[in-house]
Amino acid sequence: MNQFIKETGLICFIAFFLSLLTWCFHPDTPNFHKNDLEEGSILLKTALQSNERVLWVDARSKENFENDHIPGAVLLNEDNWEYLLAKFMEKWKQDFKVIVYCDSQSCKTSKYVAQRLQDELQLENIYTLHGGWQTWMIEQNQ
Amino acid sequence: MADMDDRAKPINIFFIVLRVGIGGLFIISGTMKILDPLKFLAAIETFHLLPYSIAYIVAYFLPWVETISGLALILNKGQKSALIILTTLITIFIIALVLSWGRGLDIVCGCFGHPKSLKTNYPLILIRNFAILTVLILILTRNKRRSL
């Protein structure tokens, strides 16, 4: 029994120490406070409560988009930028709030797409969805 | 006596292969979660079982417990403790899955770090985890019998 406690304690201690190191040095450490936002991000709750009309932009793969997406979203990723941008322009209007999302908080694609839209079209009212598609799924499950 | 030893060998080899295989599986599973803690955290959140702060700690701590326990199995050091830890973890996960299924949630398994599909195939996930649990119990039982 003593041996079991010692071994289990050792495994847990090593795991704790290594998890602390991971938390300190991992480049994609999430915020401890759930709603700490990065610059240019928007919470789903805020987006849904907004009085402005929202144009959702899905930056994930075509396969994921076709599997499921936020209702009314347009697909826009760097795989087929020119073609998909034309589709985006068909739906976009000056007074829309554009919100780009990808898989989750760790996914960087939405930031690249949002930045590219800002650079190429000089869009100002553009954000990335904090938590991405997974935050939408969690919201739908509630 | 020599014949009995010879007959015992294939079964010894079988259990060594099982032990190393299952240890390797947990190392891979744990490592994938360590590499992307944010994604694993999001997966935990889809279960709606833990407050965010606890889920945050679990997202960092649990993958390392998994990986180290897997390593312990392969190296045959602290095998019994590693088996009990992993059996406990899998059991808790199976209970969480059943609860989520009962609540009709569409969860993200996060089992191997990067879910391919966001649609939950509960039967498949449960069968897979029950199979892993069975192997762990098998090895644990064999070890117990050999130590008696």
Phi, psi of A88, rounded to the nearest 5 degrees: -60, -45
Q: From 3.30.70.1290, 3.40.50.10260, 3.40.250.10, 3.40.50.300, which CATH number describes the A41-141 domain?
A: 3.40.250.10
Instruction: Dump pLDDT digits (tens) for A45-64.
Output: 888 888 888 999 999 999 98
pLDDT of residue A34: 61
Domain segments of chain A as ranges = 41-141
Q: Kindly determine whether residue B61 and residue A8, on different chains, have CB atoms separated by under 8 Å.
A: no
pTM for the model stands at 0.68
Contact B64 A7 (CB under 8 A): no
Which residue in B73, B64, B6, B140 sits closest to A22, CA to CA? B64
Rounded-to-integer distance, Cα B141 and Cα B13, Å: 16
CA distance B138 to B83: 10
Give the nearest partner residue to A106 out of B36, B56, B72, using CB atoms: B36
> Position of tokens 């029994």?
A1
Decide if B84 and A4 are in contact by the 8 Å CB cutoff: yes
Kindly provide the ipTM of the predicted complex, given to two decimals. Answer: 0.81
Q: Where are the alpha helices (DSSP H) in B36-121?
A: 37-45, 52-75, 79-102
Does residue B26 carry a pLDDT above 70? yes
Q: DSSP label at A50?
A: -
DSSP 8-state code for residue A101: E
Q: How many CB atoms lie within 10 A of CB B54?
A: 11
CA B22, chain centre distance (Å): 8
Q: Would you tell me which residues 77-116 of chain A have a C-beta closer than 8 angstroms to some C-beta of chain B?
A: 103-106
Residue of A nearest to B43 (CA): A134
Tens digits of per-residue pLDDT, A18-44?
A: 999 998 888 767 666 666 667 788 888
Amino acid, res. A28: D
For B103, the token pair is 């609540």
Beta-ladder partners of A42: A129
Contact A32, A75 (CB under 8 A): no
Q: Are A11 and B81 spatial neighbours (Cβ–Cβ below 8 Å)?
A: yes
Nearest to B65 by CA among A3, A30, A24, A7: A7
What confidence tens digit (pLDDT) does each residue in B77-104 have? 889 999 999 999 999 999 999 998 888 7
Tallying the residues shown for chain A, one arrives at 142
Is some CB atom of chain B closer than 8 A to the CB atom of A68?
yes
Choice between B117 and B130, residue whose per-residue pLDDT is larger: B130
3-state helix, strand, coil in chain A (%, to 5): 50, 15, 35
Q: Would you give the DSSP letter of residue A127?
A: E
Alpha-carbon distance A122 to nearest alpha carbon in chain B (angstroms): 31
Domain positions in chain B: 2-147
